[in-house]
Structure 1
């Protein structure tokens, strides 16, 4: 079984059923198969072979899904590229992935020109929109939908081993260089098989496709939908800036499943975009990628009592998600974070100490993941792979592997895992060790706070790291009121020293809160205040 087989089986069983929808465009399963077969044949004719990589510079639209399936049918792995990324970042990813070909939509020609310049390749601005060309051996090209509608072609039908890569997903690296995570067919299939069973996905389902295609959450949307023979409704990126338009999309498309990062849900709650008992067709709402503030979750659960709410947890390196927690009822205490739950089938969550030994229930430890979802590692980077994927200490000779998530967690007496934040979000301020996630949970529970994030900024001296709070709040809600509200829930040494009121928190390309950007804002604020103090001091000195 390979990833592309799900759509092929659906085409055999229900060829006329809608597979993909976006705007006014509809693509039936039979059309998806025909178009991807034709493109796969053309890829093979142009030299794409088993084990190659093919870069996809295609915005989220049905043609991108066709291209993904075509690459898989040619025996290659696809590398989804963010069409909105600057040429410099695209250049780094392409240089690392070394694709044998790039596929792009015609309007991406400008991006390709910039990319060609970064890679010292010939310019491609003159490339025709209806064919692929290689300029002086450079595998650059543009595909248009009309090219796929050419006379019928037979897909090469290359069958790779499920352990071979299906795609490479590049995530941000701490050094500034993107890291390529290798995702195999088997890894995705294992999660999809579990998810379809767990959520009861069926052919009549209408499923959202909200995340960008270079983000691993989109993998779940695509392949779980096709595994069930259901409909995938791709959410136009433009709707993400309009919470009421998102709500209207869910309502008018009669979606049965919504899946996104929590920031989207927080944004919609902030503008009260969801009506009471809204979305009657919606059966389940899932989130993953970051913490959903409990007050926001409660807001949604009160609005939609007919919906099943599930928290998914897992890094890209472990394929989409490794654990799940479905809420049995509205949380009674809005100050407590939602658990990340128990492991998905074939996965394990391990909370270990510094010697890689299990910690007792209730104690805090480092969170590791084992099981079928683990990636082989980072693309052509053995050093990073060895640092993150460790020998399993429970197996003779460490034959198995565990992945170091970098997160802190604890297991309760019922075996449920609770996420406590990033290990690197534990700071030392005024001599105290503090978990920033605890402050963030308390601030999220304050009435009037619609969205917030806590970051640490090096302040030097005894203070060590300054606790900085960025927030979006109702009118009239300022730092004095927030500090007073937090004082009743937190000790004084955990109260934020710096505050930043914003209309909206910055988000990264995957829709998560952009904490590095917030740190930069606070650093700039710190520098401005220091300069102002110096100027005042200089003025006083001159006046003497």
Structure 2
């Protein structure tokens, strides 16, 4: 059922109520709600004149900025859904996403437009009026391929990595996006006094809260400049300067700040709520945050891009270092079930795959075949999205993340969950980050390689002995590799497991890789 609520309505009504309030802050200036609304209207009108129809896809490819936020709102106001493309990714992948999403129009900034000249020199680019000649200019082009048929209630399409090697286009509607924004605004008690920190790229799902939670209530969204994001001191200083009150980022960003910017964390005194998700949250980093900001609300959330957020757990104070921090309980409007291989519900405490359905769930993928494979029917006949994540319900009735169904491996005949090994590595004092990957091996069938970052090699040398005290022999990594810096990350800020798997698959050259040392 299509909701009558639209993300477009929020900006219009907020601009009418709070036109003079700051809507967007970036590294060079800000926009008021009145100005943002006016720019969105100019962009929407120009897109409609270019032939954009309701339900069309419109690609957005450009650097994160206040003009980019106006572009997103303008695309939505035109009646289309926006398809954000990673501005830092290869132009070949950008072209692939555009080819697969078949937008009616591609919108870019000048830098991205110049990249398109190298792969699609026949595209004709025209100026896209924004009504703001002093802001970054925008451009648009009409691809030669016929536009995709309109999709009802389309809001946006986020692309995730697909197991087939092709990006999956996750289709969210105004209804599914608004359901998530509804929960976010209510749970975080957002108001027009808030400043929401955005350090995620616009093609990543936390921006649904950043952009549209802010527009719903009249809060400001502060876009982290690219020059500040890589450095803990600059990151924290930006949050302090803009008076950030709410922060939502991937878990690894909290880990990075807690370990690399620990001394500066108390400067974030204006921060009242933090939301993290996407990766396992180590208790030691939780304790570091609470020591610096004892009054902060901290939420651990869970949900793949396909479902927005579907569970959450509020962490109330410091945690034991061996604690497993739950992903929590189900959100209002969502429904989950944990099932076995036969898609029958498991008993409480047993590990199974998490299935989800409800108002926050995607409409499907752009590719109907991928959609068909993603949905399953449980033994009672109901349809669910199969997340591929393994969880268990704890004694408190909350869910704990165990690992990935497709990451579960067999090592010498035993089932192994890399996530369980990583949990024990995280508990070792002195280890900053860790990832365990499995690669095929002619002798052992599977070899486990643990990549860890730590300041002291002696800490890493002690790891095999520590793990032998906590894990069975078949779960001890055959190789432990020390990274002197941070582990590689993808454009979303998460540790790049695929890159590490590729390194582990070449053991003869692994020790020669810059910044990596085989310790065990």
1:306 aligns with 295
1:378 deviates by 0.8
RMSD between aligned residues? 2.2
| Residue in structure 2 matching 1:17, options 5, 12, 21 | 21
Q: How does 1:164-203 map to 2 (within 5 A)?
A: 164-203=153-192
1:276 deviates by 6.2
1:342 aligns with 329
Q: C-alpha separation between the residues in 2 aligned to 1:54 and 1:448?
A: 47
| Residue in structure 2 matching 1:278, options 259, 264, 267 | 267
1:214 aligns with 203
1:272 deviates by 3.5
1:518 pairs with 2:500 = yes
Q: C-alpha separation between the residues in 2 aligned to 1:204 and 1:195?
A: 16
Q: C-alpha separation between the residues in 2 aligned to 1:297 and 1:180?
A: 33
| Residue in structure 2 matching 1:390, options 368, 372, 376 | 376
Q: C-alpha separation between the residues in 1 aligned to 2:426 and 2:131?
A: 47
Q: How does 1:465-484 map to 2 (within 5 A)?
A: 465-477=446-458, 479-484=460-465
1:353 pairs with 2:340 = yes
1:324 pairs with 2:312 = yes
Residues 372-426 of structure 1, C-alpha deviations (whole Å, 9 max, x = no match):
11112110x22211111123544xxx4x531100010111233211110111222
Residues 37-57 of structure 1, C-alpha deviations (whole Å, 9 max, x = no match):
111111111111112111111
Residues 304-363 of structure 1, C-alpha deviations (whole Å, 9 max, x = no match):
2111110010011112x111000122112x223310001111001211112222111111
Is the CA contact (8 Å cut-off) linking 1:421 and 1:435 kept in structure 2?
A: yes
| Residue in structure 2 matching 1:499, options 464, 480, 483 | 480
What is the SS of the residue equivalent to 2:491? Answer: coil
Q: Highest Rg: 1 or 2?
A: 1
Is the CA contact (8 Å cut-off) linking 2:55 and 2:152 kept in structure 1?
A: no
Q: C-alpha separation between the residues in 2 aligned to 1:76 and 1:315?
A: 24
Mark the CA change 1:474 to 1:183 in structure 2 (over 3 Å): closer, same or farther.
same
What is the SS of the residue equivalent to 1:237? Answer: coil
Structure 2: segments with no counterpart, 5+ residues: 138-149, 513-520
1:447 pairs with 2:429 = yes
What is the SS of the residue equivalent to 1:452? Answer: strand
Structure 1: segments with no counterpart, 5+ residues: 133-141, 151-160, 531-544
Is the CA contact (8 Å cut-off) linking 2:38 and 2:131 kept in structure 1?
A: no
What is the SS of the residue equivalent to 1:88? Answer: helix
Is the CA contact (8 Å cut-off) linking 1:311 and 1:325 kept in structure 2?
A: yes
1:362 pairs with 2:328 = no
Is the CA contact (8 Å cut-off) linking 1:243 and 1:268 kept in structure 2?
A: yes
What is the SS of the residue equivalent to 1:477? Answer: helix
1:373 aligns with 360
Q: C-alpha separation between the residues in 1 aligned to 2:293 and 2:440?
A: 42
What is the SS of the residue equivalent to 2:489? Answer: coil
TM norm structure 1: 0.87
Q: How does 1:54-69 map to 2 (within 5 A)?
A: 54-69=58-73
Mark the CA change 1:528 to 1:76 in structure 2 (over 3 Å): closer, same or farther.
closer
Mark the CA change 1:149 to 1:309 in structure 2 (over 3 Å): closer, same or farther.
closer
1:88 aligns with 92
1:156 aligns with none
Mark the CA change 1:239 to 1:123 in structure 2 (over 3 Å): closer, same or farther.
same
Is the CA contact (8 Å cut-off) linking 1:268 and 1:274 kept in structure 2?
A: no
Mark the CA change 1:528 to 1:220 in structure 2 (over 3 Å): closer, same or farther.
closer
1:529 deviates by 8.3
| Residue in structure 1 matching 2:419, options 437, 452, 461 | 437
Mark the CA change 1:506 to 1:276 in structure 2 (over 3 Å): closer, same or farther.
closer
1:534 aligns with none
Aligned residue pairs total: 495
1:166 deviates by 0.6
Deviates more, 1:23-32 or 1:510-519: 23-32
1:230 deviates by 0.6
What is the SS of the residue equivalent to 1:349? Answer: strand
TM norm structure 2: 0.91
What is the SS of the residue equivalent to 2:457? Answer: coil
Q: C-alpha separation between the residues in 1 aligned to 2:163 and 2:70?
A: 33
1:45 pairs with 2:49 = yes
1:410 aligns with 392
Is the CA contact (8 Å cut-off) linking 1:260 and 1:288 kept in structure 2?
A: yes
1:106 pairs with 2:95 = no
Is the CA contact (8 Å cut-off) linking 1:105 and 1:143 kept in structure 2?
A: no
Mark the CA change 1:149 to 1:21 in structure 2 (over 3 Å): closer, same or farther.
closer
